[in-house]
Amino acid sequence: MSLIVQKYGGTSVGNPERIKNVARRIAEARKRGDNIVVIVSAMSGVTDNLIKLAKEIMPLPNEREMDVLLATGEQQTIALAAIALHALNVPAISLTGAQAGIVTDGVHTKAKIHNITPKKVHELLNQGNVVIVAGFQGETSEGQITTLGRGGSDLTAIALAAALKADLCQIYTDVDGVYTADPRIVSGARKLAEISYDEMLELASLGAKVMQSRSVEFAKKFGVVFEVRSSLNDNPGTIVKEETKSMEGVVVRGVALDKNQAKVTLVGVPDKPGVAAKIFKALGDAAVNIDMIVQNISHGSGAPQTDLSFTVEKADLLKAQKVINALKNKVGLRDVITSEKIGKLSIVGVGMKSHTGVAGKMFETLADAGVNIDMISTSEIKISVVIDLAKGEAAMKAVHAAFIG
C-alpha cells in the first residue's frame, strides 16, 4: 500500500462541480488501495476577496488578524471536500493545518514551517479515512493561527509529503504541468516532461506562479520528488526533481514574467558606509523581501550622494514606504519615488552554466522589440531584467521565441 499526497489548487476546487470532480478523482485513487492525504486551497478568488475586504476597512491591516481571516478560506474547502467524498460513500475527514500538526514560526502572513508532527493524520489514515488538510495555514507553538505566504498550499503539500514520507506527491492544478512560459500568455509555450529543482525554484521566484517558490525550496532540501499535473484530465504532468547531466543540454528551460513587483528609488542617499545597511536592516526587520538592488555612482558637489533603487513585491510596497519614511530624516534621504508599472522578465536554465552569449542574445532581442532595460540581475542559471510593465507580455513572447521557439 502506498501513501499518496495530492494537492488541489483554487481553480480545481473553484465551485461545487469542481469539488465533486476532485472527490471522484480521490475516490478512484483510493480504489487502487492506496492511503490518500489531500491538501486543498481556498476556492479560487476567496483569498483575494478576503484581502480586499480587509483593505476596504484599513489599507495596512494587522497581520495577525489577516491570518485569522485568510485561514477561513481553506477551512471552507476542507469541509466541502470531505462532504463531497461522503456523498460518494468514501470515509473522509477534514483537518485544519494546526490539527494536522503543522507548527510554524510567528511571522504572520509569511510564516515558515518549523516542524510537522502528523500523528493525527496517521491515526485517521489507519482508521481508513481519506485525510483532507487545509493548505496555506499552520499554528505557532503558542497556538496563534498563521499562513505561509500566497500560494502556500503547495508548501503544505510538499512539507506533509516529506513528513509522512509519502511515496508520491502530486500537485493538481488548472494546467497540464510546468510549461516553458505561462501558457496563458505565450501560446507557443511547451510542456516540460521534467525540470530540476533549481530551475523550478528560479522560475517560481521569478513569477511563474504554477508553484510557490518556498515549496520548491523545501522540496529540494528534503528531496521530495513531485509531479505537477491537471485536475481536469489525465495527461502526464511535469516531474520536478534533482538536476541530471542531460538537463544541461538545454540553455533556457523557461521564461517568466513577474508583474507583482514594484520599484522604490531613494534619491540623494548619503554615500557613506553604514547607510545602505541601516536602510536594508530596517526593511528586513519589517519582513519586507527585497529583490534587485541597483546603486548609481556618486553625484553631487558637496558630500557625495547616490541614488539607490530596489524592487519589492507590490503587496509589500506600503510597508516598505512606511519603513523608509520613518528613516528619511535620520538617514538624510532627499526623496523617495515609487513605481508599480514595472515587470521583471527572466530566462532560466541550468545550461547557462556552460553556455556563453546568453545575456547578449536576450538584450539584443529586447532591443529589437523596442524594450528598454531598467535594471539587470543575474545568477548562474538566470538573467532577469526590469522593464516597462506595458511591454512585459510582448517582451516575454519575443524572448521565448528567440530562445525556445
Binding-site ranges for ligand ADP (CB under 6 A): 9-12, 41, 151, 173-175, 178-179, 181-184, 203, 208-210, 254
With 0-12 / 13-18 / 19 or more C-beta atoms within 10 angstroms meaning exposed / middle / buried, residue 245 is exposed
The size of the interface with ligand ASP (CB under 6 A), counted in residues, is 13
305: contact with ligand ASP by CB under 6 A:
no
User: Judged by CB, which is closer to ligand ADP: 114, or 184?
Assistant: 184
User: Judged by CB, which is closer to ligand ADP: 138, or 151?
Assistant: 151
Query: CB under 5 to 8 A by kind: which of ligand ADP, Mg ion, ligand ASP, none does 66 bind?
Result: none
User: Judged by CB, which is closer to ligand ADP: 13, or 276?
Assistant: 13
Query: CB under 5 to 8 A by kind: which of ligand ADP, ligand ASP, Mg ion, none does 213 bind?
Result: none
Residues 134-153 that bind ligand ASP (CB under 6 A): 135-136, 150-153
47: contact with ligand ASP by CB under 6 A:
yes
CB count, 10 Å around CB of 393? 16
Q: Which residue is nearest to Mg ion (CB)?
A: 151
By rule CB under 6 A, what string of x and - marks binding of each residue 7-46 to ligand ASP?
A: --xx------------------------------xx----
207: contact with Mg ion by CB under 5 A:
no
**Axis-axis angle for helices 358-368, 392-403 (nearest 10):** 130
Rounded Cα gap, residues 73 and 145, in angstroms: 13
Query: CB under 5 to 8 A by kind: which of Mg ion, ligand ASP, ligand ADP, none does 333 bind?
Result: none
Query: CB under 5 to 8 A by kind: which of ligand ADP, Mg ion, ligand ASP, none does 175 bind?
Result: ligand ADP
Query: CB under 5 to 8 A by kind: which of ligand ADP, Mg ion, ligand ASP, none does 81 bind?
Result: none
User: Judged by CB, which is closer to Mg ion: 19, or 93?
Assistant: 19
Q: How far is the CB of 41 from ligand ADP (least distance, A)?
A: 6
Residue 266 contacts residue 324 (beta carbons within 8 Å): yes
241: contact with ligand ASP by CB under 6 A:
no
177: contact with Mg ion by CB under 5 A:
no
User: Judged by CB, which is closer to Mg ion: 9, or 343?
Assistant: 9
Query: CB under 5 to 8 A by kind: which of ligand ASP, ligand ADP, Mg ion, none does 42 bind?
Result: ligand ASP
By rule CB under 5 A, what string of x and - marks binding of each residue 104-143 to Mg ion?
A: ----------------------------------------
97: contact with ligand ASP by CB under 6 A:
no
14: contact with Mg ion by CB under 5 A:
no
Kindly report the three-state secondary structure assignment for every residue of the chain: CCEEEEEECCHHHCCHHHHHHHHHHHHHHHHCCCEEEEEECCCCCHHHHHHHHHHHHCCCCCHHHHHHHHHHHHHHHHHHHHHHHHHCCCCEEEECCCCCCEEECCCCCCCCEEEECCHHHHHHHHCCCEEEEECCEEEECCCCEEECCCCCHHHHHHHHHHHCCCCEEEEEECCCCCECCCCCCCCCCCECCEEEHHHHHHHHHCCCCCCCHHHHHHHHHHCCCEEEEECCCCCCCEEEECCCHHHHHCCCCEEEEECCEEEEEEEEEECCCCHHHHHHHHHHHCCCCEEEEEECCCECCCCCEEEEEEEEEHHHHHHHHHHHHHHHHHHCCCEEEEECCEEEEEEECHHHHHCCCHHHHHHHHHHHCCCCCCEEEEECCEEEEEEEHHHHHHHHHHHHHHHCC
Q: How far is the CB of 192 from ligand ADP (least distance, A)?
A: 8
> Which residues contact ligand ASP by CB under 6 A?
9-10, 41-42, 47, 73, 135-136, 150-154
> Which residues contact Mg ion by CB under 5 A?
9, 151
